[in-house]
Structure 1
Amino acid sequence: KFGKTESGNVWLDPRYTSPYKFYQFWLNVSDEDAERYIRIFTLLDRATVEALVEEHRQAPHLRTLQKRLAEEITCMIHSREEYEKAVEASAILFGGATSEALHRLDEQTLLQVFEGVPQFRIARAELGMPFVELCAEKTQIFPSKGECRKMIQGGGVALNKEKVADPMRPATEEDLIAGKYLLVQRGKKNYYLVIAE
């Protein structure tokens, strides 16, 4: 284990700190820590480290050091494949990832990425209902069907990272991620997980 964070410790064992959270930990260290850690925890040669530090100082907002640190350590501890999964998972939450990327996530990673977002449960038999009903009646994602329709018309609603154009579009089995989840996005930053049981 290493260091203290709000959620406790960071562990090398994936049972205690998932590769996604492990990657996020290194990605979110301060500039000073990144400069120190890249020298201690990676096997990069001095010239490479100095070049990265210089590049980072020229444009700190790009977080070059943190990205390389997170890549090196995650690959070393978990694997290149786990690192790529973590990058893809991060893009889903913070970037413009696609519906295909979302459908490639395994259940464990999906739940880690969307930890803390509001969750609603529906009966599997209710799949097939119009999207607007799902969002305004079966869950509390929208307070009313009218508000849901209005936001859909404005292009502000997505199901599994794809804009919803028709409020009457059914939410079906084919939409499910990992066989049981629907990800509804309202506006840019509000995510909701609907679990079909």
Structure 2
Amino acid sequence: MTNELIQDLEWRGLLYQQTDAAGMEKLLSEEKISLYCGVDPTADSMHIGHIVPLLTLRRFQMHGHKPVLLVGGATGMVGDPSGRSEERQLQTTAQVDQNVQGIKKQLEMIFDFDAASDNAAKLVNNKDWIGKLTLIDFLRDYGKLLSVNYMLAKDNVASRLDQGISFTEFSYMLMQAADFVHLYDNHGVRMQIGGSDQWGNITTGLEVLRRTHDEETKAYGFTIPLVTKADGTKFGKTAGGAVWLDAKKTSPYEFYQFWINAADSDVVKYLKIFTFLSREEIEALAVSVEEEPHLRKAQKALAQAMTSLVHGEAALEQAERITQALFSGDLKALSVEEMRDAFKGVPTAEMAKEDKNIVDFIVEAGISSSKRQAREDVTNGAISINGDRVQDLDFVVDASVRLDDAFTIARRGKKKYTMVTFN
């Protein structure tokens, strides 16, 4: 009988390459194991492309297995060549250490670290063991285990040979193999998971394990397919760049909006990959996408699940409040900070801090094309300032409508918003 967890991973489309599918299924059916996934601290925050393997690891924890989360304080100093066409920019030790702290906080949002639990998540930093290896130790203990030919055949290295690869990044797979050995010996780790670009690193780790132990060493690895959009464009990018987990880089409202704007052709796949909703719940939402797409129930469920997971319930409530206020046009329901957050991506205009008649104001801000048009817009009730409709041609835009004495939100019609900032 197929293992329940394996069945769920297959249904969600989370199993790609496996080193030994039958052996892995047998192991998971007979034991509760420790397994790991690594994250290199290349920035002080992860983005949504990073979290697919982590969410998959969380599924293992929910089935009673013990996740070991490796933050690469050492490997982050070197740089993984996987999935890249050029060398990474090296970071200072201080930068990497700072990035480690930021990523740790985000991992604590996803996993259960309760020490009272039998399968509490464990957080480790490979700087604690790789950082103690001397160059001679590394070359003797690991460098002799694999031939250069073996390493050159790995896709993550072979794909870089035309452009060139430094010895530093070439050695990365050996460092990651050393991680697998350390975790196998010291934490009982039996499996590594990662994105599809990590296949070469994972199989190298298993080969080094075999050579440093014995032929009967039973460890496994599998990768998760790259997430793509139905139209073939890259997942996880917006006009403003990556969608970060850090609220200072991507606000909870922007985060919520990314998910709620998922296309009908993508949303069910995203529900399977990113959420912990049950198969029954997702299949019901799939029916809704087909039969009543205008209700966008699947997108709402996706946005709610992801925003709550990454930012918490309070942030989700705030994101939904901003969304509702913008939909209804009731901006007065929002705080100044919520307004600043909500209108971060709208067109902007800049002007001096001086009192202006409403007609001059909306023409200078580019909201209306001419003074004649501006007068028509005002008298017709098409202009709102900070959510209040303005129909008086003598209305003056002054300090009383400058929020935080810094900006004003003007709207023409139902949807054309402009943030006017003052210098």
TM-score by length of 2: 0.41
**Whole-angstrom CA distance in 1 between matches of 2:365 and 2:263:** 39
Mapped pair 1:148 → 2:391: no
- The answer for the alignment partner of 2:352 in structure 1 is 122
Summarize the Cα distance change of 1:99–1:189 in structure 2 as closer, same or farther, 3 Å threshold. Answer: closer
Mapped pair 1:60 → 2:293: yes
Summarize the Cα distance change of 1:13–1:101 in structure 2 as closer, same or farther, 3 Å threshold. Answer: same
User: CA offsets, 1:24-83, max 9 Å, x none?
Assistant: 221122224211221232222333223222233220122111111011110110012222
- The answer for the alignment partner of 2:128 in structure 1 is none
Q: 1:124-139 counterparts in 2 under 5 A?
A: 126-127=354-355, 129-136=356-363, 138-139=364-365
**Whole-angstrom CA distance in 2 between matches of 1:143 and 1:34:** 39
Mapped pair 1:187 → 2:413: yes
**Whole-angstrom CA distance in 1 between matches of 2:274 and 2:267:** 10
Which one has a bigger Cα radius of gyration? 2
- The answer for the alignment partner of 1:39 in structure 2 is 272
Shift of 1:194: 1.7
**Whole-angstrom CA distance in 2 between matches of 1:142 and 1:69:** 37
TM-score by length of 1: 0.81
Summarize the Cα distance change of 1:9–1:134 in structure 2 as closer, same or farther, 3 Å threshold. Answer: closer
Larger RCO: Structure 1 or Structure 2 (Cα < 8 Å, ≥ 6 residues apart)? Answer: 1
Give the residue type in structure 2 aligned to 1:121: M
Summarize the Cα distance change of 1:139–1:29 in structure 2 as closer, same or farther, 3 Å threshold. Answer: closer
User: CA offsets, 1:170-189, max 9 Å, x none?
Assistant: 22333223442111112333
Note the aligned Cα RMSD (angstroms).
2.4
- CA contact under 8 A between 2:346 and 2:419: conserved in structure 1? no
Give the residue type in structure 1 aligned to 2:289: H
Shift of 1:104: 4.6
Question: Percent identity over the alignment?
Answer: 30
User: Which runs of 4 or more aligned residues in structure 1 lie more than 6 Å from their structure 2 counterparts after TM superposition?
Assistant: none
Question: Mean Cα displacement is larger for which, 8-17 or 161-170?
Answer: 8-17
**Whole-angstrom CA distance in 2 between matches of 1:122 and 1:142:** 19
- The answer for the alignment partner of 1:90 in structure 2 is 323
Count matched residues. 190
**Structure 2 stretches lacking a partner, 5+ long:** 1-46, 50-234
Give the residue type in structure 2 aligned to 1:155: G
